[in-house]
Chain A
Amino acid sequence: MKLLQNLFDGIKPHFEKGGKLEKFHTLYEGHRTIAFAPDITTGQKGTQIKDAVDLKRLMFTVVIAMIPCLLFGIWNVGHQHFISTGVEAELIDKLWIGAIAVIPILIVSYAVGLITEFIFCVIRNHPVSEGFLVTGMLIPLVLPPTIPLWQVALATIFAVVIGKEAFGGTGMNILNVALTARAFLYFAYPSQISGEVWTYFGSAAPVDGYSGATVLSYGASAVANGTDMLSDMAGHWYAGMFDFWNMFIGIIPGSIGETSTLVCLIGAFILVATGVGSWKIIFSVFAGAFAMGTLFNVIGGNSFLEMPAHYHLVSGGLAFGAVFMATDPVSAAQTETGKWIYGFLIGILTVLIRVVNPAYPEGIMLAILFMNVFAPLIDYYVVEANKKRRLKRATI
């Protein structure tokens, strides 16, 4: 370690004031603080000691919580590849195919995103922040495995620049950065992120009768054609695909990391146990979706409205969004009361968009972005209530 420290010390003069690479000082600090926790000490007045936590550790905890989703996603991409091409395959083959599809997306997301961040840090001369550790992992997990890599790069740049740096960097953004990337692709290149994109074929061809439909597209088409959604799903070319428990485990086509509710719940457990994610938000998103689903069941009218409410919890990206996206502390509501309202409304909106708006089969992305925008308003009223309590106390 002394060696590495010496290496850093050796190049340090170049990055100091007056050095050749003075402009890149922030990058030097950024790298050094990843290798070594810095030697900064507390000030003369105020707390003389500080908690061992820092943002790097918090962000990394979220990355760790996403690793089960990534691994399951890699396996599932491979698994879906082989069942749709009608080939029996071993676990290792599935992982290999999955890795071929997923790892490049992951690498592009991190590489492009970090370079964009570094450029901004140098231009704006602010420290390299940790936020992208999480964003860089989130972006691949919410994209289909067939997404062109140049689109990943473009979306990542858009999200980092317009979604975050334009507002001042980590902690200042209004919208969830990873969802900004997905929304950008969704509206800029809809044909690569909707329809028959959820299964990775590579050079192989699908079997006869194959259909890449998802639960939500079954819903939309059942409404359009006036058929019964559940029996349509039961007649899926691959029998048992859309059984409730199969969907819960997540052996279905979809975005890379979002298919498995079970694995998302493992991630949720990590986030809640470490106190990094808000259990209030996670719980209330599920509660809101279930409540809205139940309400639709009561209203009835078509077979999508009548789909059992608990199907909403395991289909699409609801679980992934609830656990990893809605809980982003920067773009979520920041008051404790606000978090309940924020999460519950995300759940309600998700189901509402899914069922009632046929143009957008996946509701969670738009629901979260929408509530990101409204989170400050929710907080505003919670804060006003606090002020009123204080004022009321004074006038008694």
Chain B
Amino acid sequence: MSKNVKLKKGFNLNLAGKPESKITEISQPETFALKPTDFLGIEMPKLVAKEGDTVKAGSPVFYDKPFENVMFCSPVSGEIVEIKRGEKRKILEIKILADKEVEFESFKSYSVSDLSSLSKEDAAAQMMAGGVWPGIIQRPYGIVADPSDSPKAIFISAFDSSPLAPDYGFMLQGKEQFFQAGLDVLKKFTTGLVHLNIDGGAEVPQVFAQAEGVEINKFTGAHPAGNVGVQIHHLDPINKGDIAWTTTPYFVAQIGQLFLEGKYDASKLVALTGSSVKNPSYLKTFVGAQLSKLTENNIEEGKHRFVSGNVLSGEAVGKEGYLGFYHNQVTVIPEGDYEEFLGWILPSAKKLSFHKAFGLLSFLNGKEFEVDTNTHGEQRAFVVSGEFEKVLPMDLLPTYLFKAILANDYNDMEALGIFEVIEEDVALCEFIDPSKNDLQKILRHGIDLVQHS
């Protein structure tokens, strides 16, 4: 039974710098990078390729020790120019100098009708070899899925409700048949349902409306309505011992393309967004692209922060940094390293706030907000109550969950629902927190504890 869920809680951040629905031509970056740290759950990356090797798009670059068949593949063809390591020789970045024309590793291709007779084992083998497996994420914990598991259901959120998010419908234009093929492949992995969750408050792109063989559910409401974790909570919540998989439409289409055309196509449309961007729009590039080239000649004067992903759960990678594996968006906003005279009390309608405390008049301001990275205050103990609950549309008590984590109380963490959330789900709580605690970090610490207990 497909569901129609209306969520009352949440908060939409109306930020300046929304991407225009057009593709801006750019010259491609020279280097691309795979970052093992992007993949949660990958603890022992082993390199297959070494510095100086030439690779094609889809050639394996590294794998993780416990899952030797799951290959992490090069997004482009070229030469591996640098393997950047950090403390204890931890691999941070594998940089690839890209060819002008991308050459693809070839995998077995299938016709649409062949796909129905394809066995789960063959499908898994091709996905693991072909670089698309890391697109599948396991809940609980939000880690790369274990191919030997059989999930109770697979969930795909067909919209991103986070600030300045790209439009998945626009990203998938021309990939309709790949998307459907990807769904057909994914269906083989679960005895349960494949849920495709669409935005009930907007026009549904063709690619999703015509999807077959899946449960199509509607979610209406403010952010985080588009978060797959929130959707799972309302469709088929994760209890202790359950395993569910999630993925995004981009990866579904990529899987489809791997089977129909026999290649790992890591090209993607990336939304370049944020108030520091002169012309926010979409760019066509590849996974792991270097940001400096993507943003060239398109940034305002001044000191800015370059974020891979959105402003709530993204990562500041710097101008010379690389696009994260899971990110479809680059956000550039001004740095906020300034002091403001009496900034803690002066009234303002320009400072974005979820709250309405004295002088916070942003709720009267219907315009787009320009935000910077200032924290607007120092870190404190938890003082206010009942605010986190207003932006988390789940039957879950976030404050008590965080306190259980801080107290290393494993039983309480499990009982209070740590299996149901990952960082992005509590990102809004972190944003609105008057005590300025790093709640996403706290949550991941708790997940690590429970996962390895």
Starting from the known contacts A42-B373, A171-B383, A335-B386, 9 additional A-B residue pairs (CB-CB under 8 Å) come to A40-B374, A41-B335, A50-B374, A53-B355, A55-B380, A55-B383, A170-B380, A171-B382, A274-B356
Residue B237 lies at the interface, judged by CB distance under 8 Å to chain A: yes
CB proximity to A under 8 Å, residues B347-389? 348, 351-360, 362, 371-378, 380-386, 389
Question: Which of B409-447 touch A at CB < 8 Å?
Answer: 415-417, 423, 427, 430-436, 438-441
Instruction: Identify A37's interface contact among B342, B352, B384, CB under 8 A.
Output: B342
Contact partner, B376, options A44, A50, A274, Cβ 8 Å: A50
- Report yes or no: A46 in contact with B415, Cβ–Cβ below 8 A: no
B333 touches A49 (CB 8 A): yes
CB distance B436 to A48 under 8 Å? no
Q: A51, A52, A172: which contacts B381 (Cβ < 8 A)? A: A172
**Residues of the A chain whose Cβ atoms lie less than 8 Å from the Cβ of B337:** 39, 41
Give which listed residue, B333, B378, B384, contacts A38 with CB less than 8 A: B378
A58 — which chain B residues lie within 8 A by C-beta?
A: 355, 357, 383-384, 434
> How many Å from the CB of A326 to the closest CB on chain B?
13
Which chain B residue has the least Cβ–Cβ distance from A42?
A: B373
Q: Given the complex of chains A and B, what is the CA–CA distance between A386 and B237 in angstroms? A: 14
- Residue from the set A37, A42, A49, A55 with the largest chain B CB neighbour count within 10 Å: A49
Contact status of A48 and B331, CB under 8 A, knowing A36-B340, A275-B355? yes
- Which one of B241, B351, B385 has the highest number of Cβ atoms from chain A below 10 Å of its Cβ? B385
Partner of B385, one of A35, A49, A329, A394: A329
Chain A 23-38 per-residue mask, 1 if CB under 8 angstroms from chain B, else 0: 0000001000111111
Most buried by A among B384, B395, B438: B384
The 10 closest A-B pairs by CB, nearest first: A54-B377, A37-B343, A171-B381, A394-B239, A52-B351, A36-B339, A334-B385, A61-B358, A387-B415, A56-B344
Distance, CA A391 to CA B342, complexed state (A): 48
Say how far B42's CB is from chain A's closest CB, in angstroms: 16
The chain B residue sitting closest to A388, CB to CB, is: B415
Q: Chain B 66-87, CB within 8 Å of chain A: the 1/0 string? A: 0000000000000000000000
Interface presence of B8 (CB below 8 A): no
Question: Chain B contacts of A20 at CB under 8 A?
Answer: none
- Which of A33, A48, A57, A394 has the most chain B CB atoms inside 10 A of its CB? A48
| A119-130 near B? 1/0 per residue, CB < 8 Å | 000000001011
Which of B314, B345, B399, B435 touches A334 (beta carbons < 8 Å)?
B399
User: Is A390 on the interface with B (CB-CB < 8 A)?
Assistant: yes
Q: A39-B337, A61-B357, A383-B416 are in contact. Are A47 and B427 (CB under 8 A)?
A: yes
Known A40-B375, A57-B360, A387-B416; judge A35-B432 contact (CB<8 A): no
Residues on the B chain within 8 Å of A275, using CB: 355-357
Q: Given the known A-B contacts A38-B375, A394-B240, are A53 and B343 also in contact in the complex, defined by CB atoms under 8 Å?
A: no
**Interface residue tally on B, bucketed by range:** 35 or more
A contact residues, range: 35 or more
Residue B450 at the chain A interface, CB threshold 8 Å: no
Say whether A17 faces chain B, with CB atoms less than 8 Å apart. no
Complex alpha-carbon distance, A278 and B436, angstroms: 21
Q: Is the CB of A47 within 8 A of B313?
A: yes
Once the chains bind, are B395 and A37 in contact (CB under 8 Å)?
no
What residues on B are CB-neighbors of A332 within 8 Å?
Answer: 385
- Please tell me if the beta carbons of B357 and A276 are within 8 angstroms of each other in the complex: yes
Q: Are A42 and B375 within 8 A (Cβ)?
A: yes
Interface residues of A in 329-377 (CB under 8 A from B): 329-330, 332, 334-336, 339
Closest A residue, CB atoms, query B358:
A61
Q: Give complex CA distance A49, B400 in Å.
A: 24
CB pair A274–B358 under 8 Å, yes or no, is yes
Cross-chain contact A37 with B386 (CB below 8 angstroms): no
A46-B440, A49-B372 given as contacts; is B357 within 8 A of A390 (CB)? no
Question: Nearest-CB distance from A162 to chain B (Å)?
Answer: 18
A370 to B: closest C-beta gap in Å? 19
Contact assessment for A48 and B307 in the assembled complex, using a CB-CB cutoff below 8 Å: yes
B94 within 8 A of partner (CB)? no
Q: For the complex formed, measure the closest distance between the CB of A132 and the CB atoms of chain B, giving whole angstroms.
A: 13
Residues of A within 8 A of B371 (CB): 49
Residues in chain A within 8 A of chain B (CB atoms):
1, 4-5, 29, 33-58, 60-61, 64, 127, 129-131, 168-172, 273-276, 278, 329-330, 332, 334-336, 339, 383, 386-387, 389-391, 393-394
CB-based contact B341/A36 at 8 Å = yes
The interface residues of chain A lying within 8 Å CB-to-CB of B52 are none
B361 to chain A, nearest CB (A): 10
**A1 to B331 Cα, complex, angstroms:** 32
* Nearest neighbor of A128 in chain B, beta-carbon distance: B378
Cβ of B345 and Cβ of A40 under 8 Å apart? Answer: no
Q: Could you write out 19 A-B pairs with CB less than 8 Å apart?
A: A38-B377, A41-B335, A42-B373, A47-B313, A47-B431, A48-B316, A51-B431, A51-B432, A51-B434, A53-B357, A54-B376, A57-B357, A127-B378, A274-B356, A278-B385, A336-B389, A383-B397, A386-B397, A393-B239
Give chain A nearest CB distance to B185 CB in angstroms: 30
Option from A4, A49, A329 in Cβ contact (under 8 Å) with B384: A329
Using Cβ atoms and an 8 Å threshold, which residues of chain B touch A393?
237, 239
**Chain A neighbourhood of B91, CB < 8 A:** none
Q: How far is the CB of A88 from chain B (nearest CB, A)?
A: 39
Contact A48 B373 (CB under 8 A): yes
Chain B residues positioned under 8 Å from A383 (CB to CB)? 397, 400, 416
Instruction: Give Cα distance in the complex from A390 to B313, angstroms.
Output: 27
Q: Does B312 contact A (CB under 8 A)?
A: yes
**Residues of B contacting A386 in the complex (Cβ-Cβ under 8 angstroms):** 395-397, 400, 416
Smallest beta-carbon distance B241→chain A, Å: 8
Say yes or no: A52-B362 contact (C-beta < 8 A), given A37-B343, A386-B416, A389-B395: yes
Tell me whether A43 and B432 are in contact in the complex, defined as CB-CB below 8 angstroms, given that A55-B377, A127-B378 are known contacts.
Answer: no
Cα(A48)–Cα(B357), bound, Å:
22
C-alpha gap A44/B415 in the complex (Å): 30
Q: Choose from B237, B351, B376, B430 the contact partner of A46 (Cβ within 8 Å).
A: B430
Contact of B427 among A36, A46, A60, A170 (CB under 8 A): A46
Please determine whether A49 and B357 come into contact, CB atoms closer than 8 angstroms: no
Assembled-state Cα–Cα distance A356/B136 (Å):
66
- Our pick among A50, A274, A276 for the contact of B431 (Cβ within 8 Å) is A50
By a CB distance below 8 angstroms, the chain A residues around B423 are 46
- From A171, A389, A394, B380 is in contact (CB under 8 Å) with A171
Q: Which of B221-245 contact A (CB under 8 A)?
A: 237, 239-241
How far, in angstroms, from A22 to B416 measured CA to CA in the complex? 42
Q: Is the CB of B359 within 8 A of A336?
A: no
Check B284 for interface membership: any CB of A closer than 8 A: no
Shortest distance from the beta carbon of B194 to any chain A beta carbon, whole Å? 22
A36 contacts which of B343, B358, B373, B435 (Cβ < 8 Å)? B343
> Distance in Å from the Cβ of B262 to the closest Cβ of chain A?
36
Which residue of chain B lies nearest to A44 when distances are taken between CB atoms in the complex?
B316
Distance in angstroms between the alpha carbons of A168 and B381 in the assembled complex: 10
CB A345 to nearest CB in B, in angstroms, measures 17
